[in-house]
Structure 1
Amino acid sequence: MLDELARWHQSLSPDAEVALIVARHAPYAGRQHHRVRISGVPLDGLLAGPAFDAAVFVRQLRSSSYLRPLPTGSCPLTRAIRFGGPMFGIFDAAEARTLERWAAAVAAGEPPGADLAACTAGDDDAAAWQRALASADPGDIVVAVPPALDERQFLYRLVNVERFPGVLAAAHTRVEQVLAQAEGMFELGAAGRHTDATWFDYSPAALRERVESIYWTKLVGPYRPLVDIPPRAEVINGQKRFALGNLVDGACTHRVGNTGRFHRPSDGPLFALYADEMGRGDVARNHLTLINQALASMGIHLPHLRSEEFRTQTELPGPTYPYATYQLGLALLPDSRYEEILGYHLGVEMFGLGELRLHETQKMRRHGFDTAYEDVHLSIDNISAGHTRQATDLIVAYLDHVGRTGGPAAVERAWRRVWRGYASFAFFVEPHLARRLLARRAAA
């Protein structure tokens, strides 16, 4: 093919060589040539016109004054491309030599040569390869849709996303699926045991009122100390059901602090909450340290979450995986699902309070298990100044920013997304409502 290409270049007439140079430079000529005229037409118009033909242009240039010999032996064209001329440096050295030879040949009376023909070097070979590849049917090649990942494989790839970047598409699909299902909680949410995702029109006061209502009626109001403490094995099994969710504690916000994400008024406070979850640099206070500490007190020693060994461990029950994989998938979309992360995060922070935590603390303490993980959430997630209050305030700050920059309609759109993020949290912690939603959808 290269030999064929070389022969094509060698066969070009001087006029065709110049036409090739003109065709290469014409798209970049700009509008600075309006004072230059060839056959009475401004040069910039000739070069920029939709019907531009390099071969026709070369014939016009041949008979123009720009190739008329000067007493110095050159011509206006070759003088313009030499050092000090207005076109010096436009053409590379080889192109300049070609133009010099061509101008001299025209001045010597050499007649026009063949026009520039299309280069077809390699076309026949390429067509043959294309036909061969299109008709090939190698026996050792199988084209198939990749099998669906089970939840353990899905989790393993999500926490090792640098090694499995292709998991991003699956994460996006899972997130969209859950969010679409969770919007049903807008109607059923009031029946939640720990949450209330019922829809309401947004205002800062309405959001704070809903948060306080959930706190008093769902989390704190129903609390009564346990009279009968379950057996040790039952308490351990209960902690195993919570463990995987606790091991991804704070994951939904961890990418908010990535480079370039600090332009919204909610970004700083949101990342500060994540920093709290991670112990603000003190490993002993990191929530993952605390949950592993609690599990160890029950004789549960898990491999690292990102390891192959964790993928195959059987300590934690399979039904708990979808909650973790959804949150990890959501975490991989810190820009496109920012509003949903804000709402989901509010649900996570509120879940650290009230009856459920108090009962778990009571049960674990009775059997001598470490309660630091439960205790710290009851403390830092408080509604007066802790994470629950801060999660509420940063939603208000974000929607205020949206209103100032996009107007009321933008606030309505953003609020719906925030609240469906909260609803997606409720979808997982209220399994009886989730089952009703899915059954209703299957029947529809």
Structure 2
Amino acid sequence: MSAESAHSALLSESGNTTDESEYRWLFTELLDPEADHSRLPLDIGTPPITESAAGADDTDLLQRLEQEAASWAADETARFRTLFDKVAGTADRDAVVRRVLLDCAPFALVSGAWLQWACSPANVDTEIGMRLLSLFATDVGVGRVEASRGHAYLNLLRRENLSELAIPTSRLALDRQLSDRVFRMPARVLAMSRRPDDHLPELMAADLCLRAAGLMPAIAAVRPLLTDGFDWDSLHADGADEALSGSRGLVALHLTENAGDRDRVVAGFHWMLRNLRDWSEDILADVTTVLDPAHEMAELLRFKAREGAVYHQRFELEGKPLNKWFELAADGDFTALLRALADSRLIRPGDPDRSPLVNRLVGERGPMFRIFTPEDLAVIRRWIASLPAADPTEAKGEGPRTRSVSGHAHRGARPAQARPSGSGDGEPADIREAFHLLTRRRDTPGLRRWSLAYVRQWLARSGWQLPDAEHVPPAQWDPEALNLWIHDQHERQAKQFDVTGTYLVPPREELIDLIVQGGLRALIDGAWLQGFTDYEHASSDVGRLLFQIYWDELGNGDLPINHTVLYRELLEDMGIRLPHVATREFAQWRGFRDASFEVPVYWLTISRFPRTFLPETLGLNLAEELFGVGGSLRQTQLGLKTHGFNTLFYDIHNTIDNVASGHSAWAIDAIGTYMSSVARSFGADMQAETWQRIRTGFYSATPPFYVNGMLADQGAGATGTRS
């Protein structure tokens, strides 16, 4: 795709410019990895290319871009600090800190999420793919619970008692204290993260821009107003300098391999910087108004207006019912109401301690008890204290207007209006085409529908009359019983190899065919877990273990031990050179039998629904990690050695999948963690039901009986039976 057509696509997909209020709801939709992103009105707002970087030296180009972002961030931080120098007193300090931290929350809580889908089976065996995943892994604190940059910011919100509506992050859309416009930049960045195949050069450039800018200016400037004790370095994953260097190296590598993308990189960088500037201007405007106590009081009245109008038809100010005052302020101008309130008997200008509104009326015996939160009362007291005793109703300019919040901000998060896809329904014609489409992150309504049906039918057949405990975990959930069963399976597999292993070495051609057909699985090794690269999953108590396994399957970013690379080397050792997994030619290669696609497609489809099928994925993961440890893996090793082939792929799996401290152990830990949370949240009955789903997931690791009928229903035409 050319640079011009890529940017035209960004604009044409979005249709008309997204209304400001829609960004709030787009934000919540884009946080969900299972949402139908192909139907969202994605107004990413990327402009056409207006300048050229042709002929520029890559190093000089990147240095110039980084300096541009860093200089802007330094100047913008200084602007905020100049404003914050005007803060006087605890009340002003609290108001400024609250506004800055809340306005920055929609973006800071997803910091790093723009890379969540950048890695897929299409690029896991490339240097660029691994560098992308390495950057993301550090951003989410791979393998650690709640160690992402977003969680670091959540800890800051908790310290300031501002985290109530930030767990989960999607709840921020319900916070009426936040204006619609603070969701614009995070929604656009998340939108780009859901389309990495279309926007990869721009995405990498945006990442470089954000890391070069460093800590957001508003947050950096507010730091002196906060008490000591917070780990500010935690907002930079693995250290700001190291992350910036990694991002710079990634973009430089991409330009080395794709010199024609220079203009797209420059455009993507400047797109991100423009969004940063606009977002920061919005926050600066919000903070400026916060320094005016009357504005904050007007905001509070707006929040309470709808409820207040219901109960205050009989309460009068200046001879007019309060609900009429709220109707007059429907356009957001609360000047008249504030003047009337300040001149009423409820207020003692300049003296909140003597004002009935924040004392007698809100006391335990007062008619407005618990109507206002402690934060609300602080806003009211600050406004009263700011009123001049001489003339509390004196007009000053236009008067306070409220921040821009959509009229439906009181509702729960609603899906954005669907728009038809521009590329057709996208349902695959057969299982080979499905495999090809699923190796990338791009979604279509047809592919999503096909994938969901494939998983559901596969699991329905797998769960029909589960076999005895020799083949699946025990029927009742018991952590100790599961551990014993796992070790029994391991010992059984090892003993079976010791008895028969040396007698079961297949002939050379049979072994090669076994390796070739297994290539469809091995070349997407760990793909059933790729859904756990999603930002909120990757550092959750359960998801972090699954992400860690996936990260380990890919060599922890080290290509020489990347499992896909190792298996391709094994195939080449056998004289077999396959097209790349990402190509259509790979899926159509005649050396693969149709039946060999069944399990790989199951892996790829279930990975698209990490929340819906989490119990089944946990079971599937245990089966895949336990499979063959000490037994069939050693059997294959022996066969490869006997015929003089490379054994490294199987050598590594026989060690890292071990049941004591390897992937099998992590899989058991993930199941135990999840089952504990289910029991704690939903009770014993749901725990028992969940355990049966995990057992079904375990048994689903190999094709269920009659899978050929299931696939024929979908036009796939494959065959297969359980081994």
TM-score (norm 2): 0.40
Moved more, 225-234 or 287-296: 225-234
Match of 1:176 in 2: 456
- Given the alignment of the two structures, is residue 44 of structure 1 paired with residue 323 of structure 2, yes or no? yes
- Given the alignment of the two structures, is residue 246 of structure 1 paired with residue 498 of structure 2, yes or no? no
Match of 1:220 in 2: 494
SS at match of 1:353: coil
Match of 1:376 in 2: 652
SS at match of 1:226: helix
Q: Deviations over 1:104-144 (max 9, x none)?
A: xxxxxxxxxxxxxxxxxxxxxxxxxxxxxxxxxxxxxxxx9
Shift in Å, 1:165: 5.7
Shift in Å, 1:405: 3.0
Q: What residue identity is the alignment partner of 1:260?
A: E
Match of 1:207 in 2: 482
Q: What residue identity is the alignment partner of 2:532?
A: V
Q: What residue identity is the alignment partner of 2:472?
A: A
Question: Structure 1 CA distance, aligned partners of 2:589 and 2:558?
Answer: 28
Shift in Å, 1:173: 1.0
Structure 1, unmatched stretches of 5+, are 1-26, 49-81, 91-143, 440-444
Does the 8 A contact of 1:34 with 1:45 survive in 2?
Answer: no
Does the 8 A contact of 1:262 with 1:268 survive in 2?
Answer: yes
Paired residues in the alignment total 315
The 5 A counterparts of 1:249-328 are 249-262=525-538, 264-328=540-604
Match of 1:386 in 2: 662
Shift in Å, 1:33: 5.7
The 5 A counterparts of 1:225-236 are 225-227=501-503, 229-236=505-512
Q: CA separation of 1:168/1:232 partners in 2, compared to 1, >3 Å: closer, same or farther?
A: same
Shift in Å, 1:321: 0.3
Tell which structure's C-alpha radius of gyration is larger. Answer: 1
Question: Structure 1 CA distance, aligned partners of 2:463 and 2:660?
Answer: 29
Match of 2:390 in 1: none
Does the 8 A contact of 2:479 with 2:672 survive in 1?
Answer: yes
Shift in Å, 1:164: 4.0
Shift in Å, 1:378: 0.9
SS at match of 2:646: coil
Question: Structure 1 CA distance, aligned partners of 2:443 and 2:426?
Answer: 17
- Given the alignment of the two structures, is residue 156 of structure 1 paired with residue 436 of structure 2, yes or no? yes
Question: Structure 2 CA distance, aligned partners of 1:231 and 1:163?
Answer: 42
- Given the alignment of the two structures, is residue 403 of structure 1 paired with residue 682 of structure 2, yes or no? no
SS at match of 1:225: helix
- Given the alignment of the two structures, is residue 354 of structure 1 paired with residue 634 of structure 2, yes or no? no
The 5 A counterparts of 1:45-84 are 84=395
Q: CA separation of 1:29/1:401 partners in 2, compared to 1, >3 Å: closer, same or farther?
A: closer
Does the 8 A contact of 1:240 with 1:317 survive in 2?
Answer: no
Q: CA separation of 1:174/1:83 partners in 2, compared to 1, >3 Å: closer, same or farther?
A: farther
Does the 8 A contact of 2:475 with 2:692 survive in 1?
Answer: no
Question: Structure 1 CA distance, aligned partners of 2:688 and 2:617?
Answer: 17
Match of 2:259 in 1: none
Moved more, 144-153 or 258-267: 144-153
Q: CA separation of 1:329/1:206 partners in 2, compared to 1, >3 Å: closer, same or farther?
A: same
Shift in Å, 1:34: 3.9
Question: Structure 1 CA distance, aligned partners of 2:394 and 2:307?
Answer: 19
Q: What residue identity is the alignment partner of 1:356?
A: S
Q: Deviations over 1:265-292 (max 9, x none)?
A: 2222222111111111111111101111
Q: What residue identity is the alignment partner of 1:168?
A: R
RMSD: 3.4
Match of 2:639 among 359, 363, 369: 363
Structure 2, unmatched stretches of 5+, are 1-304, 328-392, 402-423, 711-723
Moved more, 400-409 or 248-257: 400-409
Q: What residue identity is the alignment partner of 1:155?
A: F
Question: Structure 1 CA distance, aligned partners of 2:314 and 2:684?
Answer: 51
Question: Structure 1 CA distance, aligned partners of 2:323 and 2:583?
Answer: 65
- Given the alignment of the two structures, is residue 340 of structure 1 paired with residue 607 of structure 2, yes or no? no
Q: Deviations over 1:126-163 (max 9, x none)?
A: xxxxxxxxxxxxxxxxxx99876311011111112316
Question: Structure 2 CA distance, aligned partners of 1:42 and 1:354?
Answer: 81
Question: Structure 2 CA distance, aligned partners of 1:333 and 1:228?
Answer: 39
Q: What residue identity is the alignment partner of 1:240?
A: V
SS at match of 1:156: helix
Shift in Å, 1:413: 2.6
Moved more, 264-273 or 365-374: 264-273
Q: What residue identity is the alignment partner of 2:535?
A: T
Does the 8 A contact of 1:179 with 1:424 survive in 2?
Answer: yes
Q: CA separation of 1:29/1:344 partners in 2, compared to 1, >3 Å: closer, same or farther?
A: closer
Shift in Å, 1:312: 2.1
